[in-house]
Amino acid sequence: MDAVLKGVLQPTTRFVLGLLLIAIAAIASHVILVSSLSEMEMDSIDINDSGRQRMLSEQTFRLAGELTRPGGTGEAVVKKEQLASSLVLMRSTHKRLASEVGQAANPTQWDLELRSAYFDGDPSLDDRISHYIAALEALIDPSPAAPNSNLSDYLSVASTHRAGLLSDLDKVVKIYEEKAQARLAKAEELHGNLMLGLLVLLLFEAIFVFGPLIQSQSRANAELREARDKAQSELAARTSVLAAVSHEIRTPLGGVLGIIDQLRRERSPAEQERALQLIEDSSQALLETLDGILQQAGLSQDAAVRDGKKFRPRAVAQRVAELFRPLARRKSIQIELLASSDAEVMGKPGQVQQVLANLVSNSVKFTQSGSVTIEVRHPQAAEANWTFVVSDTGIGIGEKRIERIFEPFDTSGADSLGKSVGAGLGLSITRDIVDAMDGQITVESNPGWGTTFTIEMPLAEVIEDGPQAAQTSVVGNLYLALEKATEQIQAEATASKLGWNVLRSEDHPNEHASETIPMMGLADSSSLASIPIGWLDAFDRIYVIGETAGAGANMSEHHKKTVYFQTDHLSKDLRGILERESNGIA
């Protein structure tokens, strides 16, 4: 039964059943209509015959009266023929009506009234009509038993039988008319009910058959559109990745080729060593660039951007300047570096170098003569951002183009020789990298005088001060799993300052396990589930930022050594936690 019900509920089955119901209703309507028309036709015949019967009674009596008056022989013959034919028609009509009334198998109210009108009484209407016809037939052809009878005698006999005949025939005609009117009213009522039923059936099918079919088709179309849009989005993403890979590989490779060209002409071992070091640094930056592009494309999401390391911004800027100096010399362009601070920070040096390389590459391309300047500004306050400025004395950027300078595939610019350069992805990728590092990039330009790009990035400075600077031994091991890059950088800087060794996902917990120093874990609730079980087993204690509701299912076995806490100032709270752990205070 369930299988049958399930089959009935299928859209195709409902559609077929709906069409079948409409077909059945149409056939039933046709049958009822044909039956009603047939009954109405029979009623019309009965009314016509009953009216003819009354008319013939008057016509035959008139013809019989004319025969009794003196006249010519020829005229009498004609009148007899007319009377004879009228009597034949009257007899056949009466016989059909009387037979129909008397033989009705399932007589209706009207059949009973007609039967009473024809056969009740003494003599009955049926008898009087028969005697009346017989009397007039005798007038036409006198009986051999009374050959000398006067025609007036036969007319007198017929007149006797005709007494009251017209009123009775009028009554019969009226009954037939009432019967026809009743059938017509019934047919109209049936037709109205049939139309109402059809409307209800159509409404039912619209709600329960065609409505769900339309909804199902709409859902299918929506799913097809969603699948199409998803496929187009994936195709656009892959196209963007390929274009980005092409651009980001071409930029550092251009610098490497320039250094190789310089290396061929260089004879000093020291300069050759420096050039080789630049090539190595550029190759490493290229690998990091490819990793970053794959991360942004979602192809390597396990390698999070939160992983940072120590580096010196001045050294990164110096590498970029050295990388593009050979290309700049070919155009007689000078690359200058302005950086007073040699401080060490926590962050992503590969991404910083990628941003600076993109900007310096553009400056060299769009500068015909003059200089390109790279400036690194140390933050004035502890919580302020580092600032990188790349400026040139090139052709500048027009006011209309500067509004879309960071849009992908903006190729409306031309290099210093008037040639369109690149696919228009460099500045778009640069902005995406800066945004991913919670930074900000702005541009100012004066056509004909040059362009200045300013980047601000939150880079936590590694401070070596006080007794901690002299500390050479590792206080403890700390594994970090924080979703926000800024929090990851702050935590690494704070832990390193206090003498803690910061562990990464590529490290192995067994290599850092120790009975003398603690191994701690710090994570936020959203990143907790991504920590491998091996690390969770190795931790002496796990600190989780957030509520217990965000904990993963794998924490059920480690809840005794898990501490949940809220923080508004991660560096300050983490410092207190690490100091307590290093002093053995849980």
Co-location of 438 and 487 in the same domain: no
Co-location of 139 and 196 in the same domain: yes
Co-location of 474 and 438 in the same domain: no
User: Tokens for 325?
Assistant: 């100096």
Burial of 481 (0-12, 13-18, 19+ CB in 10 A): buried
Examine residue 235 and state whether it is found in any structural domain, yes or no.
no
- Describe the crossing of helices 125-140 and 109-119 by its angle, rounded to 10 degrees: 50
pLDDT level of residue 161 (50, 70, 90 thresholds): low
Q: According to the model, what pLDDT value does residue 252 have?
A: 66
Examine residue 246 and state whether it is found in any structural domain, yes or no.
no
User: Tokens for 523?
Assistant: 């994570």
Domain count, the chain: 3
Rounded-to-integer distance, Cα 458 and Cα 351, Å: 13
Q: According to the model, what pLDDT value does residue 334 have?
A: 92
How confident is the model over 479-520, as pLDDT tens digits? 988 877 667 777 887 888 888 888 876 677 877 777 778 888
Query: Last residue of some domain: 461, 480, 513?
Result: 461
Query: Last residue of some domain: 182, 206, 230?
Result: 206
Examine residue 261 and state whether it is found in any structural domain, yes or no.
no
Q: For the ranges 218-227, 277-286, 386-395, which has the lowest average pLDDT? A: 277-286
Ranges of beta strands (E only) in 348-463 are: 370-377, 386-392, 440-446, 450-457, 460-461
Closest listed residue to residue 345, CA positions, set 323, 319, 315: 315
Co-location of 289 and 154 in the same domain: no
Rounded-to-integer distance, Cα 225 and Cα 371, Å: 52
Co-location of 531 and 401 in the same domain: no
Provide the residue range defining the domain that includes 506: 470-582
Examine residue 161 and state whether it is found in any structural domain, yes or no.
yes
Burial of 24 (0-12, 13-18, 19+ CB in 10 A): exposed
Q: What is the mean pLDDT of the chain?
A: 78
Co-location of 286 and 394 in the same domain: yes
Q: According to the model, what pLDDT value does residue 502 have?
A: 85
Q: According to the model, what pLDDT value does residue 243 have?
A: 64
SS3 556: coil
pLDDT level of residue 59 (50, 70, 90 thresholds): confident
For the cut 80, the answer to whether the pLDDT of residue 112 exceeds it is yes
Q: For the ranges 89-98, 252-261, 315-324, 389-398, which has the lowest average pLDDT? A: 252-261
SS3 473: coil
Query: Last residue of some domain: 189, 206, 223?
Result: 206
Co-location of 376 and 343 in the same domain: yes
Q: For the ranges 62-71, 72-81, 232-241, 282-291, which has the lowest average pLDDT? A: 282-291
Greater confidence (485 vs 571) lies with 571
Co-location of 387 and 477 in the same domain: no
| CATH code at position 91 | 1.20.1330
Q: Find the mean pLDDT for residues 51-70.
A: 83
| CATH code at position 300 | 3.30.565.10
Examine residue 110 and state whether it is found in any structural domain, yes or no.
yes
| CATH code at position 573 | 3.40.50.2300
Q: According to the model, what pLDDT value does residue 145 have?
A: 46
How confident is the model over 434-485, as pLDDT tens digits? 998 899 999 999 898 899 999 999 988 887 654 444 444 678 899 988 877 6
Co-location of 510 and 547 in the same domain: yes
Q: According to the model, what pLDDT value does residue 288 have?
A: 59
Longest alpha-carbon distance in the chain: 172
How many CA atoms are closer than 13 Å to the CA of 39, on its beta-carbon side?
17
Q: Could you tell me if residue 199 is left (phi over 0), alpha (psi between -120 and 50 degrees) or otherwise beta?
A: alpha
pLDDT above 70 as % of the chain = 75
How many other β-carbons are positioned within 10 Å of the β-carbon of residue 41? 10
Q: Could you tell me if residue 163 is left (phi over 0), alpha (psi between -120 and 50 degrees) or otherwise beta?
A: beta
Q: For the ranges 447-451, 539-543, 558-562, which has the lowest average pLDDT? A: 558-562
Give 204-226 as a DSSP string: HHIIIIIHHHHHHHHHHHHHHHH
SS3 455: strand
Tokens 């004035």 -> residue: 380
Examine residue 46 and state whether it is found in any structural domain, yes or no.
yes
How confident is the model over 273-305, as pLDDT tens digits? 667 766 766 666 666 566 555 555 544 444 444
Examine residue 244 and state whether it is found in any structural domain, yes or no.
no
Co-location of 443 and 554 in the same domain: no
Examine residue 226 and state whether it is found in any structural domain, yes or no.
no
CB under 8 Å to 312, separation ≥6 — which residues? 342, 343, 344, 345
CB under 8 Å to 293, separation ≥6 — which residues? 241, 244, 245, 248
Q: For the ranges 78-92, 118-132, 292-306, 317-331, which has the lowest average pLDDT? A: 292-306
Co-location of 419 and 491 in the same domain: no
How confident is the model over 305-335, as pLDDT tens digits? 445 788 999 999 988 988 888 888 888 899 9
pLDDT level of residue 75 (50, 70, 90 thresholds): confident
Co-location of 501 and 421 in the same domain: no
Rounded-to-integer distance, Cα 79 and Cα 70, Å: 12
Residue 528 and residue 544 in contact, taking contact as beta carbons nearer than 8 Å: yes
Closest listed residue to residue 107, CA positions, set 211, 156, 6, 179: 179
